[in-house]
Amino acid sequence: MKRTLIAAALGTLLAAPLTSGTAFAQDYPTRSIRMVVPFAPGGGTDFSARTIAQAMTDSFGQTVIVDNKPGAATNIGAEIVAKAAPDGYTLLLSSGSTFAINPAISKKTPYDTFRDFTPVGSFSRYLLLLVVAPDVPVKSVQEFIAYAKARPGQVSFGSPGLNSSHQLAMELFSQRTGLSMIHVPFKGAAPAMQEIIAGRVNSMFQDLATAQQQIRAGKLRALGVASDKRFQSLPEVPTIGESGIAGYDAAAWIGIVAPTGTPTAIVNKLNAVMNKLLANPALLQKLADTGAEPLPGTPAQFGALLRSEADKWADVIRKAKLAEE
């Protein structure tokens, strides 16, 4: 009888944390959720964050607040979330800058990519275009390669900033083609594009949303898409793979992560909302209009993407000698 009572008491004690944890997840969320966006307001990433936030607000009946915390190449916002309570009420809009580029550039990154975060879900991939100034006398990727090879160290490329995904896309392109080019970083994609249009910079990788109007107006020339798919709105522009650089892919991605320790049931709840959102035809059209494609999946699939991207870009950064000493 005594053994039976002890066993029953132990069973109750062991079951209590599980029961309370399950109940916590079932009730989640009971208050507003903070989504930290490590970029300034405006632009594709901010649009994605606000789209996801609205979908979560509609689904949960609790407000999801977008909190823009730009600076230090996304490190400021990422550090805030890395140190937050793992309760599902603080999330991070994540990108390749945070998870693949920054840790490979600097050993002083104020967070550990895989120790401090748990994947919630991927949202989209943003495809980039290789564009050139109108006065650059080339009309294809192969012509551009020949033009740059004939002028080693003279052809320039712009980017929205040091160590941006746009810069890394060109570093990968240069490594795959044997080019030697001059990098000219700017404070944002818009000023970089203005300099290309003015003819003071020769080329860059740019997103469709920023470049499409200028391409249509003849102020920029699009040579290739930095992925394995063409744009619906620019079907005449081939992929770089189709242009002879097999397997080239430098698409930027966006997703959501939470602090490590966030309950699995909460992570799965958030992931389900994201996947439901990515099945909405109206959203899919909006993504296509901005040069993005949906990237639904499980938290585990997103985690695998994070690791493969980290390995890929660390290799590019090492070969380009971009890492801080």
The string of DSSP codes covering 98-138 is IIIIHHHH-TT-SS-TTTSEEEEEEEEEE-EEEEE-TTS--
280, exposed or middle or buried, with CB in 10 Å at 0-12, 13-18, 19+? middle
Per residue, the 3-state secondary structure of 167-179, as one string, reads HHHHHHHHHHHCC
Which H or E run includes 158? strand 156-159
* Token code pair at residue 299: 């938290």
- Whole-number Å distance between alpha carbons of 137 and 230: 23
SS3 266: helix
d(CA 227, CA 191): 24
Q: Torsions phi, psi of 31, nearest 5?
A: -150, 180
Single out the residue of 189, 202, 199 nearest to residue 290, CA to CA. 189
Report CA-CA distances (Å) from 235 to 156, 222, 223, 232. Answer: 27, 11, 12, 5
- The predicted-structure confidence for 155-196, as pLDDT tens digits, reads as follows 999 998 888 889 999 999 999 999 999 999 988 878 888 899
Distance between CA atoms of 61 and 154, rounded to whole angstroms? 56
Name the DSSP letter for residue 234: -
Three-state DSSP at 55 gives helix
- Alpha carbon distance 193, 203 (integer Å): 9
Sequence-separated (6 or more) residues with CB below 8 Å from residue 324: 105, 106, 107, 108
> What is the pLDDT, as a whole number, of residue 42?
72
Residues of the chain scoring pLDDT < 70 = 1-25, 43
pLDDT at 5: 46
169: phi then psi, degrees, rounded to nearest 5 = -60, -40
Q: Give pLDDT, residue 6.
A: 46
Three-state secondary-structure class, residue 91: strand
Distance CA 23, CA 17 (A): 10
In this prediction the pTM is 0.83
Q: Sheet containing 252-259: which strands, arranged edge to edge?
A: 64-68, 33-37, 90-95, 252-259, 117-126, 292-294
Q: How many residues does the chain have?
A: 325
* Contact between 296 and 283 (Cβ < 8 Å): no
**What structural domains and CATH numbers belong to the chain?**
33-126+252-320 (3.40.190.150), 128-225 (3.40.190.10)
Residue 39's pLDDT is: 85
Question: Do residues 117 and 260 make contact, with C-beta atoms less than 8 angstroms apart?
Answer: yes
Q: Is 218 helix (H, G, I), strand (E, B) or coil?
A: coil
Residues 111, 191: Cα–Cα separation, whole Å:
30
Q: What is the pLDDT of residue 23?
A: 57
SS3 (DSSP) at 204: strand
**Locate tokens 């401090």: which residue?**
116
Contact yes or no for 186/196 (Cβ under 8 A): no
